[in-house]
A and B are shown apart, each in its own frame.
Chain A
Amino acid sequence: MSKFLNLVAGTALASTLIAAPALAEKYGLGRPALEEEVAAWDLDVAPDGTGLPEGSGNAYDGEEIFADYCGVCHGDFAEGVDNWPKLAGGADTLDHDDPLKTVGSYWPYLSTTFDYVRRSMPFGSAQTLSNDEVYAIVAYILFSNDLIDDEFELSKETFFDVEMPNAEGFILDDRTTSEAHFWTDTPCMEGCKDKVEITMRAAVLDVTPDEE
């Protein structure tokens, strides 16, 4: 955990910054938040499951709910419609050209799927689903990615029985080491290369919108 802290802003910050601001001045502004207010807004779910609500659902039930609320954009099998995001597929494509990143092929934590669907979807009527519905939909997305069968009952208790294929696929920002050669005191000013040739032109591709 302490690894990235040294990288913050790329400079070593004075250690006093992070010292407990014990003598901080208080202004007496604001009012205490009520428990039900915090409960209403604090919905995020963390990778270790903190924030997961009671409830459960399976892909069998989820299929219908998904078709009702999500399929129009994401496709009945979560395969995506037109330019709308695909939620399934893409296994083993991450090292290919144009990898297909989906919940199944890319997302490292299942908590993210629950959290995002509960708070941000369906697009245009966010936060209208019950917790049971969210569990069922998440199960259906997992099912569409061949990660569980359609009877698997997803809940707080079974959440970590699901293995996310790309859980180990991430590394922390390593630019200061893997790109250390970009920090150079003496950038080339003359004779930096012998010749310059055009290798690609935007006008040939022609995807720029017209200016009106």
Chain B
Amino acid sequence: MTMSFKGKPSRRAFLKGAVAAGGTLASASVAKAEADPLITEVQDWASYTGDGVDATPYGLPIEYEADVVRRNVEWLTADTISSINFTPIHALDGTITPQGCAFERHHSGAIELRKEDYRLMINGLVDTPLIFTYEDLERFPRENHVYFCECAANTGMEWAGAQLNGAQFTHGMIHNMEYSGVSLRTLLEEAGLDVAGDLKDKWVYVEGADASSNGRSIPMEKALDDVLVAFKANGEALRMEHGYPVRLVVPGWEGNMWVKWLRRIEVTDQAIESREETSKYTDTLEDGTSRKWTWVMDAKSVVTSPSPQSPIKHGKGPLVVTGLAWSGRGSITGVDVSLDGGMTWQEARLAAPGTDKALTRFYLDINWNGEEMFLQSRARDSSGYVQPTKAQLRDVRGLNSIYHNNCIQTWWVKSNGEAENVEVS
């Protein structure tokens, strides 16, 4: 499928279709409509047989969904080995992100590491430094949890203004999966924390096995709380690009800490202040000072459809406005949607009650009158936090933070159904 959504409205293929025809094609009430040949004529698929059960031992989405893929933005990074791509959130529904289209961020490329070659070391201030094999990990009591993983740089390009035209690009550095694994607490206790003494000022330094050797310091309190050493996602093995065979899951905290190909856990008495927690993932304020240790992902939401890559093709009438909301501080308690750029708000319907540090799907079912809209969504979480506007964020943080942009997003939906990323007063 070649669809350009670069803001050249008149070229859109769909305009030649239903909308241009005044929406009559889709209307069932039109008198003397011609019978639909898809119904009156016997179709090939209703006559011939399809694929056998041996055709696809492991299935991919049908070819008609070939545009629902991760995409990258070439100009963002010097090369694709240390780079990022984006989840096609504009085309997904529900809350669970399929692994095959869940965003990737590597610092030295995705590596192939066999389970047989996998080793996990726990060292530092532990009673007995230990080495685990993959099989060892499978023998500890296991837990299942659904959590979102959001890169701290998600929406980062939007600090200076509306830049990228599509929810995939503005908000696609996120995925949400069900993880199976062992709690980090269990592994730390297996190595023993007696020699660490008072745990209040202790840290855990976690590090990956790939060439970037990405490592982050996590305060012991979090490490003993809800951090998981995961080896399955959405029921199956992690994908290579998400850290096969073992990754760390740090619920509610920035994605960079979710170390992939996890190979070492070191108990320390200080933060290591690695490159990823000094040069990067620190947030520079207007006066030039920078915040560090901004681990928690603030509450955030975005309308995924309609949106620039998911325009309204059916004309006026019933319209499903939908999107995602999440918070690193707990669960989503509500989402408000505005059709007029924030002048008035109405409460959206949550598909299911929000759960701890996981994506929540919201819907607002409206009868669209065909007039332009400035669509916005605003998340609220269990800590009482309300997602701020871009102006509110800029007031506190300026324009140079790069990370942690959780502002309210605006889509300008035009009367022809197309949408554009805009900033409004």
**Residues of chain A having any CB pair with chain B under 8 Å:** 1-2, 4-5, 7-11, 13, 17-22, 24-27, 29-33, 37-38, 41-48, 50, 73, 82-85, 94-95, 97-99, 101, 103, 106-109, 111-112, 115-116, 119-120, 123-124, 126-127, 169-175, 178-179, 181-185, 187-212
> Which 6 residue pairs are nearest across A and B when measured between Cβ atoms?
A203-B7, A95-B288, A196-B341, A94-B288, A24-B189, A202-B421
Q: Tell whether, in the assembled complex, residue B345 and residue A18 are in contact, meaning their CB atoms are under 8 Å apart.
A: no
Q: How far is the CA of A115 from the CA of B205 in the complex (A)?
A: 13
Q: Tell whether, in the assembled complex, residue A192 and residue B289 are in contact, meaning their CB atoms are under 8 Å apart.
A: no
Within 8 A of A (CB), among B249-306: 252, 263-264, 266, 268, 270-275, 278-279, 282, 284, 286-296, 298
Q: How far is the CA of A189 from the CA of B337 in the complex (A)?
A: 10
**Residues of chain B having any CB pair with chain A under 8 Å:** 1-7, 67, 71-75, 77-78, 81-82, 107-108, 121-124, 128-133, 136, 139-140, 161-166, 169, 185, 189-194, 199-201, 205, 207, 211-213, 215, 219-222, 224-225, 252, 263-264, 266, 268, 270-275, 278-279, 282, 284, 286-296, 298, 308-309, 328-330, 336, 340-346, 374, 378, 380, 383-388, 392, 396, 399-400, 412, 420-425
> Which of A171, A195, A198, A208 has a CB less than 8 Å from the CB of B291?
A171
- List residues of chain A with CB within 8 A of the CB of B212: 120, 126
> Which of A94, A190, A193, A207 has a CB less than 8 Å from the CB of B284?
A94
Classify the secondary structure of A's interface with B.
loop
20 contacts between A and B (CB under 8 A): A1-B200, A11-B383, A18-B221, A20-B199, A27-B190, A37-B131, A38-B129, A41-B121, A42-B124, A108-B278, A112-B278, A183-B384, A190-B345, A195-B425, A196-B343, A199-B423, A203-B420, A206-B7, A209-B169, A210-B4
Q: Tell whether, in the assembled complex, residue B169 and residue A208 are in contact, meaning their CB atoms are under 8 Å apart.
A: yes
- List residues of chain B with CB within 8 A of the CB of A98: 400
Q: How far is the CA of A201 from the CA of B124 in the complex (A)?
A: 52
Q: How far is the CA of A61 from the CA of B278 in the complex (A)?
A: 27
Q: Tell whether, in the assembled complex, residue A169 and residue B342 are in contact, meaning their CB atoms are under 8 Å apart.
A: no
- List residues of chain A with CB within 8 A of the CB of B191: 30
With A73-B78, A99-B288 known, 4 other A-B pairs at CB within 8 A are: A94-B289, A108-B273, A170-B291, A191-B344
Expressed in whole angstroms, the minimum distance between the Cβ of A53 and any Cβ of chain B is 15
Chain A residue, CB-CB nearest to B226: A9
Q: How far is the CA of A31 from the CA of B282 in the complex (A)?
A: 37
Q: Which of A7, A10, A94 has the most CB of B within 10 A?
A: A10
Chain B residue, CB-CB nearest to A202: B421
Q: Tell whether, in the assembled complex, residue A182 and residue B386 are in contact, meaning their CB atoms are under 8 Å apart.
A: yes
Q: Tell me whether A30 and B7 are in contact in the complex, defined as CB-CB below 8 angstroms, given that A95-B288, A123-B82, A200-B423 are known contacts.
A: no
Expressed in whole angstroms, the minimum distance between the Cβ of B151 and any Cβ of chain A is 17
Q: How far is the CA of A32 from the CA of B130 in the complex (A)?
A: 4
Q: How far is the CA of A5 from the CA of B198 in the complex (A)?
A: 14
Q: Tell whether, in the assembled complex, residue B399 and residue A97 are in contact, meaning their CB atoms are under 8 Å apart.
A: yes
Q: How far is the CA of A207 from the CA of B423 in the complex (A)?
A: 16
Q: How far is the CA of A18 from the CA of B336 in the complex (A)?
A: 37
Q: Tell whether, in the assembled complex, residue A196 and residue B342 are in contact, meaning their CB atoms are under 8 Å apart.
A: yes
Q: How far is the CA of A181 from the CA of B263 in the complex (A)?
A: 41
- List residues of chain B with CB within 8 A of the CB of A192: 342-345
Q: How far is the CA of A55 from the CA of B57 in the complex (A)?
A: 55
Q: Tell whether, in the assembled complex, residue B121 and residue A172 are in contact, meaning their CB atoms are under 8 Å apart.
A: no
Q: How far is the CA of A98 from the CA of B294 in the complex (A)?
A: 20
Expressed in whole angstroms, the minimum distance between the Cβ of A160 and any Cβ of chain B is 14
- List residues of chain A with CB within 8 A of the CB of B140: 27, 29
Expressed in whole angstroms, the minimum distance between the Cβ of A153 and any Cβ of chain B is 24
- List residues of chain B with CB within 8 A of the CB of A210: 2, 4, 6
Q: How far is the CA of A172 from the CA of B293 in the complex (A)?
A: 6
Q: How far is the CA of A10 from the CA of B328 in the complex (A)?
A: 9
Q: Tell whether, in the assembled complex, residue B164 and residue A175 are in contact, meaning their CB atoms are under 8 Å apart.
A: no
> Which of B1, B5, B215, B336 has a CB less than 8 Å from the CB of A44?
B215
